[in-house]
Structure 1
């Protein structure tokens, strides 16, 4: 607990002193006291000090008197104690006006005041408070360290911290989700959100009551370069140095628990990823054994299962790795699925494989699963739109363990096909490419390449040397059933621009008016996508 000007005035040595100006500044914090013995005192004083003086060094200098109060406020002093009568008859009215305007306390000392003793008393009470704060910090450290060494979890640490400081505690992750709270907040409706995004200020709501910035103390939980979240103590920041130190001590130990859990999770994740790779590669001896082993990783493996592949579309490998780790550790995708009320956490499993996140989702109770999962994909994209582009491929449902390998390829191929078709973030479902099921049965790639080259090869070659985007135009024309007006709107180009592109396509020998030719054109285009997907 810090001491204020008001508390200093409660000392016995100040019993005959009176506040003559700046009463609104009596809550200013006092850390030190300084005697003014020279005119140029400013280089020798610390912020949050009380200046004690007779004004002797400047009493005959009107300019210095007029400059003193504003300069002390600028240097963040707490107040000034002036002993008149010896060198000045009374405290200058100009100083009183300035102090009132700036909420800077001026304390008039009685003629019998001993300035040295005043300073000694202030320093003594300040030192006493400092020792109390250090003792309190040590108490927090010792009690929580004892729990930490016993291997207690974060919930126990948070509850004990709340018990020591006497105020409710909330623990949040980097996405403002409540990880845990002290017992006095159990079963309360708690939400944490940004009140002012620009200034990164938080707003906490508990059962309809709002706590804005300044109504709580927040401290980051860090271990090395990893940030796990924040501790929030529901107590106004004013006069709370001891509480801040307590939270600081607690944050070190809580960060250590997080880091220990993180290391354990990394080891488990490595074993889990190896286990799932074997499933996707068809290395299965017994379906029952696989289901039982999945339980060891907290995975309730039941069927049907849909696979979703989430890929970050950026070249910066360091940033990509950081975001993947954050998404995995914070269970971001699981929370998005829960938000859509699609699946409980233990029915999901997210793993990192081949530079993508692969999500297994139990879809047994999900109606219209394609629509539902596309909506989830769009939610993921929307949540990350300000940070990174995302591609998402979604499979049909696997009915048994043996078909996992097939549906993983479906999800992966739909991801690749989507990346061929889209320059920005996208969600791509395997059913969007029904023709792929037929095309993949053709084992001779030379036949497929020859067909593509014959039907749309000239467009592909033309785009390599010209910037008319004829393949993109053909894609949208196919999607819009060759309705030129709708295609122009979707491409965000003028109708005449689209007509010019169509004329150029025709000049390349491509017939987009004959029904049978259009059918072959669509087939050739889908074969082209299939080939591109397999190349990638």
Structure 2
């Protein structure tokens, strides 16, 4: 039958080989035959093929019978099937060593009937080989059609199950990170024996893993595996295209959302759900800016964006707009400190593999306040941008700044041209700055630390790394310069306002979208 492998045993059952006698190598009667050739020349190397049947009269061995041993050695090397010899024509006796090698290599050595022409044997054998190959091609074509239909109908799991059935093993499709996407029921990653890459163009996008190694003689199984990989490449191409389209839609939605051009809450929520954009009890925005002297800033932004969108799953989604990475976050928190904790945890995850980029950079992160409505997210985005712009002047050593930390400064910026502010900074700040400039002192820094600490001179000394007596001396000089009492609550309040107004000079919040 066509679906039965054409073995040496079946060969000897053909009428044309009636009377053939197996002299040695009986254990190899199950060897499959894919090719047939005759040999009458003594050249033994370079032309033999795996699963090949060799027919010979033994003419080339007539003067040197031991050459038959060399033929068996070469067939063993390439994986030949069997050797048929018309011993009664030229070679009357087969050497005992050849019989031993036939048994050792499991390559049957049989005597061919003298009266049957080679052409009749070759024709009959070729007919059987072609029938078998035609059957295999039909089977492979049918399997390939099933594979293709499953992929086009997005039934990857069924395809994997079919692969496992055809190859008699467990199978799985792995993604680019070698994580299991779909597999047969008993598949275990530790049992993987072979892993074939699935390529889209020159890029490896996944793998097809199986739990047993296929032998070279398993041609049907090898072809099935090759076709499975080919159609899975189509599946990964479809996924890649869909993912790219989805990412573009997400990007467009986020740009529109952050710009404030959409205001209908129900529609925003519906679109966010369809696109996998985070929308929870509360939403807030993170703005990240990378400051780098290198030329790889784009690579850094893309590195962060990919990790944020992957790490965040449904909790975060980011987009690069102009010179910033803007991230929408869904949270159950409304407290500013809890938000900062979430962002700090995110930054720790992001920077785990940043050294792979191979560049030095500085990061500024602004956090906007939480909003219950998606339509109000643009305000949170503005707050995050303001936190960075103001924080660069007021909190230069702080990487992560919440808008609530610069609320007063934001208010002062709105009235920055008010004459009262100008009067306060002129009376309370400019004299100290001028003194520092003239004498090379650090009274301005000391005054700032004093106001931030609420007048705690011990904390000021710790912050500035100086002795407490030095702090007291500097504060005394400031009091003399300003002709005022720093311990007076009203004076300290005015000084604090003036200091904040002075530090926010130059903060560009008017260009924020």
| 1:293 aligns with one of 268, 271, 274 | 271
* Cα deviation code 1:80-105 (max 9, x no counterpart): 444545433443344456566xx633
| Number of the residue aligned with 2:237 | 259
User: 1:158 deviation in Å?
Assistant: 2.6
Conserved? CA contact 1:5–1:29, under 8 Å? yes
| Number of the residue aligned with 1:92 | 95
User: 1:372 deviation in Å?
Assistant: 5.9
* Cα deviation code 1:496-521 (max 9, x no counterpart): xxxxxxxxxxxxxxx9756769x9xx
User: 1:57 deviation in Å?
Assistant: 0.9
Conserved? CA contact 2:200–2:237, under 8 Å? yes
| Number of the residue aligned with 2:451 | none
| 1:128 aligns with one of 111, 118, 131 | 131
Q: Which runs of 5+ in 2 are unaligned?
A: 372-376, 417-428, 441-460, 475-498, 508-513
Mapped to 2, the partners of 1:124 and 1:321 lie a distance apart of: 64
Count of matched residue positions in the alignment of Structure 1 and Structure 2: 418
Conserved? CA contact 1:394–1:410, under 8 Å? no
Pair 61,19 (structure 1): closer, same or farther in 2 beyond 3 Å:
closer
Mapped to 2, the partners of 1:15 and 1:335 lie a distance apart of: 71
| Number of the residue aligned with 1:430 | 400
Conserved? CA contact 1:396–1:431, under 8 Å? yes
User: 1:8 deviation in Å?
Assistant: 5.4
Pair 8,323 (structure 1): closer, same or farther in 2 beyond 3 Å:
farther
Pair 35,180 (structure 1): closer, same or farther in 2 beyond 3 Å:
same
| Number of the residue aligned with 2:110 | 109
Are 1:279 and 2:257 counterparts?
yes
Conserved? CA contact 2:147–2:159, under 8 Å? no
SS in 1 for 2:269: helix
**1:188-267, aligned counterparts within 5 Å?**
204-205=188-189, 210-214=190-194, 218-232=195-209, 237-238=214-215, 240-267=218-245
User: 1:430 deviation in Å?
Assistant: 0.8
User: 1:60 deviation in Å?
Assistant: 2.0
User: 1:69 deviation in Å?
Assistant: 3.7
Conserved? CA contact 1:268–1:297, under 8 Å? yes
| Number of the residue aligned with 1:175 | 177
User: 1:370 deviation in Å?
Assistant: 5.1
Pair 154,88 (structure 1): closer, same or farther in 2 beyond 3 Å:
same
User: 1:230 deviation in Å?
Assistant: 2.8
Conserved? CA contact 2:285–2:326, under 8 Å? no
Pair 233,290 (structure 1): closer, same or farther in 2 beyond 3 Å:
same
* Larger Cα-atom Rg: 2
User: 1:139 deviation in Å?
Assistant: 1.5
Mapped to 2, the partners of 1:390 and 1:6 lie a distance apart of: 69
Are 1:20 and 2:24 counterparts?
yes
Conserved? CA contact 1:350–1:358, under 8 Å? yes
| Number of the residue aligned with 2:59 | 56
Conserved? CA contact 2:286–2:367, under 8 Å? yes
Mapped to 1, the partners of 2:102 and 2:93 lie a distance apart of: 15
User: 1:276 deviation in Å?
Assistant: 1.2
SS in 2 for 1:255: helix
| Number of the residue aligned with 2:315 | 347
Mapped to 1, the partners of 2:331 and 2:302 lie a distance apart of: 27
Mapped to 2, the partners of 1:255 and 1:45 lie a distance apart of: 35
Mapped to 2, the partners of 1:397 and 1:317 lie a distance apart of: 24
| TM-score normalised by L of structure 2 | 0.60
* Cα deviation code 1:313-346 (max 9, x no counterpart): 995799x599869x85xxx655545xxxxxxx43
| Number of the residue aligned with 2:38 | 35
**1:483-494, aligned counterparts within 5 Å?**
none
Conserved? CA contact 2:278–2:315, under 8 Å? yes
* Cα deviation code 1:201-255 (max 9, x no counterpart): xxx43xxxx42315xxx55433434543233456652354334433444444443
Mapped to 1, the partners of 2:227 and 2:409 lie a distance apart of: 63
SS in 1 for 2:205: strand
| Number of the residue aligned with 1:364 | 332
User: 1:273 deviation in Å?
Assistant: 1.3
Q: Which runs of 5+ in 1 are unaligned?
A: 191-203, 338-344, 422-427, 458-480, 484-510, 532-536
* Cα deviation code 1:326-381 (max 9, x no counterpart): x85xxx655545xxxxxxx4333244555886553423279966556555554555
Pair 161,21 (structure 1): closer, same or farther in 2 beyond 3 Å:
closer
Pair 268,379 (structure 1): closer, same or farther in 2 beyond 3 Å:
closer
Pair 273,55 (structure 1): closer, same or farther in 2 beyond 3 Å:
same
Mapped to 2, the partners of 1:153 and 1:252 lie a distance apart of: 15
| 2:370 aligns with one of 394, 399, 405 | 399
CA RMSD of aligned residues (A): 5.6
Mapped to 2, the partners of 1:43 and 1:273 lie a distance apart of: 60
SS in 2 for 1:278: helix
Mapped to 2, the partners of 1:70 and 1:33 lie a distance apart of: 18
User: 1:147 deviation in Å?
Assistant: 5.9
User: 1:66 deviation in Å?
Assistant: 5.6
| Number of the residue aligned with 1:158 | 159
Conserved? CA contact 2:12–2:20, under 8 Å? no
Mapped to 2, the partners of 1:146 and 1:45 lie a distance apart of: 39
* Cα deviation code 1:156-187 (max 9, x no counterpart): 76378559848665322111122234xx63xx
**1:131-142, aligned counterparts within 5 Å?**
131-142=134-145
Pair 267,112 (structure 1): closer, same or farther in 2 beyond 3 Å:
closer
Pair 17,369 (structure 1): closer, same or farther in 2 beyond 3 Å:
farther
**1:466-477, aligned counterparts within 5 Å?**
none
SS in 2 for 1:61: coil
